[in-house]
Amino acid sequence: MTAPLISAAAASAIVRRGGVVAYPTEAVYGLGCDPHNPDAVARVLEVKTRPQDKGLILIASQLSQLQDWIAPLDDVARARVESTWPGHTTWIVPASDDCPALLSGGRDTVAVRVTAHPISRALCDAVGHAIVSTSANRSGEPAIRDIASLGGLDGIDAIVEGKLGNATDPSAIYRLSDGARLR
């Protein structure tokens, strides 16, 4: 059964209740949930068939929405990440002491992005904090760029209506500690 198409506002209620939604991002459709809810995060990993040790990306509409999962950034680090945000750049930053291993992959870092995509931003704002963001495809398969292909993923509660952004590739990923590009 294909999940219903709904607005970002309606999807936020599903996310807050522990649901999993698919939504458009800058380049591909993403799978998202509430990162505070370990059962929801486990469902995303199950839908994606992604190993827990890989970790997940969190997206937000503003840096302050990430505060529960990242360690405080000094002025230099903050300036570095904010120079690329909002945008299509993900940073691997120090994780907070409370950041769950399901999000960090068991590392002392976590991947985060302040998205520029208006629908993804609206979803984060409606939820009130960052959400999990991983490409909406099974691990090892091509990322999904058309809404019809989302119907092949079991376990999604809803699909947020809207178009993808103009990016052709998933977000670039940089490591904050040394600025190295990882993807």
What is the pLDDT, as a whole number, of residue 1?
52
Contacts of 11 (CB under 8 A, 6+ apart): 21, 23, 123, 126, 158, 160
Topology of domain 5-175 in CATH is DHBP synthase (3.90.870)
Residues 158, 11: contact at Cβ < 8 Å?
Answer: yes
For 10, phi and psi rounded to 5 degrees? -65, -40
Contacts of 129 (CB under 8 A, 6+ apart): 35, 36, 60, 65, 68
Q: What are the residue boundaries of the structural domains of the chain, listed by start?
A: 5-175
Residues 107, 55: contact at Cβ < 8 Å?
Answer: yes
Per-residue model confidence as pLDDT tens digits over 166-176 = 999 989 999 99
Question: Strand, helix or coil at 134?
Answer: strand
Low-confidence ranges of the chain (pLDDT < 50): none
